[in-house]
A and B are shown apart, each in its own frame.
Chain A
Amino acid sequence: MVEIVSKIGIECMVNGKLSRFHAYPIARLLDVLREELKLTGTKEGCGEGECGACAVLMNGAIVNSCLVPAIETDGADIRTIEGIATGAQLHAVQEAFLECGGAQCGMCTPGMVIAAVALIERHPHPGDAEIREGLAGNLCRCTGYQKIFAAVVRACEPAARPHSGKR
């Protein structure tokens, strides 16, 4: 057990705010978010990039934060589940999850919402195959996915666009 590095200073944007923290260079972004920045919405499900519970948006693209080393986040733009709603106004995806029963135990939900948001940003009106492919990296053990698919469809409906002022 030999220590060969110290923590380094890192600066990046997290949910629109400049964040500065210290971390070991190879520390996982997941742990930096949860422990340094106290953003515990992003979850650890597997630590091997298989379950998607740790998914966040990094420079606009979905990534598994358990596989991103801290040093790679320097200068990056990170968006977590805490940054999806706008204040008290939920994102259309979040509203849809509530209406359609897309969350049961809720543990996969932050990553799943991130994946759905990323999917809709790429495909504003995804068909069934695109939804399945877009969410295939996020495992859910509770729902059997059916109501998550329904929530994505609902979120894309014209009345439910983000920031539409609904509810």
Chain B
Amino acid sequence: MEEKKIGHSVIRKEGRDKVTGRAQYVDDLAFRGMIHGVTVRSNIARGRIRGVRYGGGIPWSEFTIVTAKDIPGKNEIAAIAHDQPCLADQFINHPEEPIVLLAHPDKYLLEEARRAVQIDVDPLPAIFSIEDSLAKRAIISGEDNVFKSYHVEKGDVDAAWARADVIVEGEFRTGSQEHLYIENQGMIAAANPREGVTVWGSLQCPYYVHKALVALFGLPPEKIRVIQTETGGGFGGKEEYPSMIAAHAALLAWKSGKPVKIVYDRAEDMVATTKRHPSRTRHRTGVTRDGKLVAMDIDFVIDGGAYATLSSVVLSRGTIHAAGPYFCPNVRIHSQAVATNAPPHGAFRGFGAPQSIFAIERHFDQVARAINLAPEEFRRRNFLRKNQTTATGQVLHEEVDLNGLLDRAFKESDYQAKRERFARENPGASIKRGIGFSSFMHGAGFTGSGEVTLASIVEMEATPEGCVRILAASTEIGQGTNTIFSQIAADALGIGLDRIEVARPDTGSVPNSGPTVASRTSMVVGKLVEAAALGLKRTLLDSGLLCEACTEDEFVRACRRYIETRGPLRSRSQYEQPPGLHWDDATFSGDAYGTYAWAVYVAEVAVDTITFEARVTDFVAVQEVGKVIHPIFAAGQIEGGVAQAIGMALYENVVWHEGRMANGQMTNYIMPTAADIPPIRVFFEEQPYAFGPGGAKGIGELPMDGPAPAILNAIENATGICLREIPATPEVLMEAMTEKAGARG
């Protein structure tokens, strides 16, 4: 009997290929006869297209040229709404909007050609801020610029204010953030009207791309095939955008009759693809003098860019997480996603929750201050516990011990002692030190009835050699999907890891397991992998070819025998919602998620009063995650997410000029290097979730939620400055510290 794999840090399935440079990413592939493609884009934010001119000096007859009128089906990138064209036709709604596609064998000549295409545009008034959008300075989408709004109403907020001793208000803002996956977006397509369309590329969700191409080409589903190549990071940036670049490559392939590769360079990827939604949150909170929450009124707005894309879902998650891991009997949350003339903002790890959690965790430090309570004491008096209801009215049936997590985080970070020491040592020091924390939760899986709608499927098949192949649409993007699925299957089948194969996600051969997003892959799809494996084993047991306590050799022989005598050995499992979950879309209330991961993060900072630079000097991340399937990979997810969130908090500033990212180079968009990231110390607690494999909950996005508010709380502890916006760059700190010093006279 094989030793259990779940809970152990086994070697990454595709690790050897990655450390030797043998892993094949899309730009590593070349097909016979392949040509290259580029995209001609708008250079203004909004306007009406008058015409396209093809400049002199280019042998245009050698080029394949595609515009909107070459689209066989619908000119749209099918997502939730139908407002985003694949290629702009009459109107431009954001800078860098794609208009013309070109293909040619010579990729250097192609760049000359791209420069030679002139788009004549009559400009239209454009808007670039949440405020201008809400004020309807111009109507750029629908009737009122609002893509979506939600309303949460729990208890009776209006009546509750009277019972509050203290009411505290605050406004908080988060900026945009660029994913900066190290592998830029890329696709290769081969297409012709007879055989259909095949695309290979860097992506998270093969079936999203599939759906988009079906609509674009007006072809039956079986004529579209999407294959994932080794993908160099996603973070949500390759959730919906790949549909666009795949569409472009496919259209060029369709028209030219040749395979076409489009790979963006960093500059194009930065200016043209999705970013994190900027946000503005307004809090109004009523508390009693002894720190009990009485009423919360939250207004949450996100900037969706020019088209709806996934903004309604980002809004949904941000809304649900806006009230934090606290019990409050009266909660109102009003949220909106609004349009501006920037390239559409999109999925980015955390998906709305980092934005709204930033606000509440900064705000609650202010509320604590207003009633003279230590920030942790205020949290303790309001932490959600089992059997209490969340803002959406969900009764928590799981064990929740935020006090325990807080205790552990404080112990590991030496919080109290440091707080006292810094208070003693800061006066007169040129480097001020501080420590701060945040407490939060993250719902795993799709919101509400989302998983039911997805109805994900995993299939499994045995090979005559006695190997078992997992067939799922979940993609490996670095988070460890291949390895974790293998661990789960190996344990369920009782065989070695090297007998497990994970099929390349290819819509031609794997079922739709749903997208690789929402921290659902290990928890939801992993559970289906387990079920499929158990199903496969059950088939063998029922056939009499295998007994329960079998060795691996007996398993291999049984597979071989089964296939020889009875034919293919396959199994299939489909998602079933855990019992007792009810969500009402109409009232936006009920059980938002099947389970939550819970966390308390502590950040220690040093603020240099000479240069106004804030650095994180130590970081402690404590979280309860159900079950740790792979200790190194799980810690890797937390460490990577914390690093990305440190970037979001302190370094990563998207500079916007009229809707266009002006600092679209790695030299000017600053992500932390190995010299900037502190030690990140990760601790896990486990309260098994019955419906996750081995008890696991999803964790991929959790680490994005906590660091930014913890860091700004620490900066406030170090310097007394109350910053309400990220990124908190040195320039911002300088202005705030100067103002504060001036105010003191």
Contacts and interface: CB of A to CB of B under 8 A. Distances in A.
B680 interface: yes
Interface stretch (B9-17, B540-548, B597-605): B9-17
B444 to A, nearest CB: 20
A85 B671 CA distance: 30
Interface in A32-49: 34, 39-48
Contacts of B25: 43, 107
Contacts of A58: none
B411 interface: no
Given A104-B478, A146-B639, A90 B20 contact: yes
A140 B235 CA distance: 13
A145 B19 CA distance: 15
Given A40-B24, A143-B636, A144-B677, A107 B182 contact: yes
A1 B21 contact: no
Given A142-B636, A142-B640, A143-B639, A149 B674 contact: yes
Contacts of A99: 11
Contacts of A101: 9, 12, 632-633, 635-636
Contacts of A76: none
Given A1-B57, A43-B25, A48-B667, A142 B19 contact: no
A97 B19 CA distance: 7
B249 to A, nearest CB: 18
A140 B21 contact: no
In the complex, which of the residues B265, B635, B674 has the most CB atoms of chain A within 10 Å of its own CB atom?
A: B674
Contacts of A47: 265-267
B182 A139 contact: yes
A100 B636 CA distance: 10
A136 B676 CA distance: 9
A73 interface: no
B298 interface: no
A28 to B, nearest CB: 11
B621 to A, nearest CB: 10
Given A144-B680, A145-B677, A41 B478 contact: no
B640 A143 contact: yes
A108 B20 CA distance: 12
A108 B182 contact: yes
A139 B667 CA distance: 12
Given A48-B665, A105-B183, A142 B233 contact: yes
B675 interface: yes
A58 B290 CA distance: 67
B20 A46 contact: no
Nearest to B677: A145
Nearest to B269: A46
Say whether chain B's binding surface is mostly helix, strand, loop, or mixed. Answer: loop
Contacts, number: 173
Contact of B230 (A106, A135, A143): A106
A148 interface: yes
A98 interface: yes
Given A44-B27, A132-B674, A136-B674, A141 B235 contact: yes
A36 to B, nearest CB: 12
B615 to A, nearest CB: 13
Interface string A101-134: 1111111111001000000000000000001110
A34 B263 CA distance: 14
B644 interface: yes
A50 B665 CA distance: 9
B673 interface: yes
A148 B633 CA distance: 13
Contacts of A113: 19
Given A109-B21, A131-B674, 11 more contacts: A34-B28, A46-B665, A47-B266, A90-B16, A104-B233, A105-B233, A106-B23, A141-B179, A142-B233, A147-B632, A147-B639
Interface of B: 9, 11-12, 14-25, 27-28, 57-58, 109, 112, 179-184, 230-235, 265-267, 477-480, 632-633, 635-636, 639-644, 665-667, 671, 673-675, 677, 679-680
15 contacts: A34-B28, A41-B20, A43-B27, A45-B266, A48-B667, A51-B182, A51-B666, A104-B478, A107-B182, A109-B21, A136-B673, A139-B180, A139-B182, A141-B233, A144-B640
